[in-house]
Amino acid sequence: MPPKRNRKPEPAQDTKKGGRPQSAVWEHFVQTPLSTPGHFAAECLYCKKKWARGRPQELEVHLAKDCPDIDEETRREYIHKILQLYNDKDNTENNKRPRLEQLNIIDFWDVYDDDVELLSEPKREAINQSLIKAFICCGTPFAVVEHPFFVDLIRKLRPGYKLPSRDKLAGIMLSHAVVRIENRITAILEKATNLTLGINFLSQ
């Protein structure tokens, strides 16, 4: 049973001094204001894990896959929030074909100067997903993403694409990929009727 939320922080819609509304994820965490305005330390209301500085994306990942004491309904809510970021419909039976984005002529330009226009968000996100898959499946160190030779290669191959930082690639992008994969595995297992587990006693 999740703990009572008698320590619930200020409402997420508090917008002092014209600031934007806080993320709803803060409803599940205790906020402690930091010296920098608008930044807070965080403590999970369920498992009591603490962050020196709470970032909404990281807190959402915690609720979706890491918190051991969260109720299943809330966990599924935050898994769904992360899946929505990628228009991931693999967890539904009626999987609709995604709409093709209308391309701009600039997507086909072959240019090499610093003023090239950045790619559209859907195209950039598609490349990000391919990038994280390549790094994980090939066992490539995440530090490579910031190596000057690798950066130069990507800029020549796709001038409008801006590589993520090492921290972003190994952090929130990897965490989101794990949530999506775990959700697909769960969906497959829920539909399976006959499962066989085997153990190889001859292996070392």
Q: What is the pLDDT of residue 201?
A: 59
User: How high does pLDDT run on average in the chain?
Assistant: 78
- DSSP 3-state assignment of 17? helix
pLDDT tens-digit profile of 42-61?
999 999 999 999 999 999 99
Residue 29: phi and psi, rounded to 5, are: -140, 150
Residue 72: phi and psi, rounded to 5, are: -65, -35
Which distant-in-sequence residues (6+ apart) come within 8 Å of 87 by Cβ? 98
Q: What is the pLDDT of residue 181?
A: 87
Q: What is the pLDDT of residue 140?
A: 92
DSSP letter for each residue of 34-66: -SSTT-EEEEETTT--EESS--HHHHHHIIIII
